[in-house]
Amino acid sequence: MSQIGLAAQQREREWVEAALAGDEQAFERLVEAYATPVYNLAYRMLGDPAEAEDAAQETFIRVYQRLHTYDPSRKFSSWVLAIASHHCIDRLRRRRLQKVSLEDLPPWEPLVSREVDPEERAVIRDRNARLQALLDRLPPNYRLPLVLHYWYGLSYDEICEITGLSLSALKTRLHRARLKLADLMRTLAPDLIPADDARTSNPRADRARVHSPKAEGKP
């Protein structure tokens, strides 16, 4: 792990200790660091910004109430993402029980980074919304490993720890999820398919890039 990563983990540990001792500002810093990763996970799992906000908020309530059960030998990010994942799966289960179809949900208004210019933002937003519509068609138990793998750059072991899946089950689900998503993309959103995609070299060489975290905590 890099020096920056270690320093960030050390700082997180200090914030956790301070929050446990009753320092509310330290907890606020933890929330600031994890607001985007947790919100993005909730949005990718639930597909609706308003529900994602609710779920992310509920996740932080649970994090604060269970902070004393956090084991410092584990990565704090994995612990937080596990709480968020379980909460999202619970919500999806309840949604299924209530028989609310995805079509009944309000249309998306996803917030993409405010640093890009408005025109580009509109294009990203449109593509993102259509990708999310495809993700929503995957069963939740296929969607979660895919989201944790691609948006958080987590290793197979870390995803297993968060989801409670065995390594072989995770590999199977990831593979099936990719194939199903590819199939959906071809039939429902062929314009999302990139034009240049012939890979002739082993991606092993640039594995680090594949695993570079996009939404990892950035304290």
Binding site for other proteins (CB under 8 A): 20-22, 24, 27-28, 31-32, 35-36, 39-40, 43-44, 49, 52-53, 56-57, 60-61, 63-65, 110-114, 124, 128, 131, 146, 149-151, 171, 174-175, 178-179, 181-183, 185-186, 192-194, 197-200, 202-207, 210, 214-215
Closer to other proteins by Cβ: residue 104 or 196: 196
Closer to other proteins by Cβ: residue 92 or 134: 134
Q: Classify residue 47 as left (phi > 0), alpha (psi -120 to 50) or beta.
A: left
Please name the residues in contact with 37: beta carbons below 8 A apart, sequence gap of 6 or more. Answer: 77, 80, 81, 152, 215, 216, 217
Q: How far is CA 45 from the centre of its chain?
A: 8
Closer to other proteins by Cβ: residue 97 or 203: 203
Tell me the closest approach of the beta carbon of residue 99 to other proteins, in angstroms.
Answer: 27
Tell me the closest approach of the beta carbon of residue 96 to other proteins, in angstroms.
Answer: 23
Amino acid at position 122, single letter: A
Tell me the closest approach of the beta carbon of residue 64 to other proteins, in angstroms.
Answer: 4
Nearest to 15 by CA among 67, 69, 60: 67
Nearest to 156 by CA among 135, 138, 184, 175: 175
Tell me the closest approach of the beta carbon of residue 102 to other proteins, in angstroms.
Answer: 17
CB-CB contact of 134 with 185 (8 Å): yes
Tell me the closest approach of the beta carbon of residue 128 to other proteins, in angstroms.
Answer: 6
Please name the residues in contact with 147: beta carbons below 8 A apart, sequence gap of 6 or more. Answer: 41, 44, 45, 135
Closer to other proteins by Cβ: residue 89 or 189: 189
Rounded CA gap, 11 and 219, in Å? 8
Tell me the closest approach of the beta carbon of residue 47 to other proteins, in angstroms.
Answer: 11
Closer to other proteins by Cβ: residue 100 or 192: 192
Closer to other proteins by Cβ: residue 6 or 61: 61
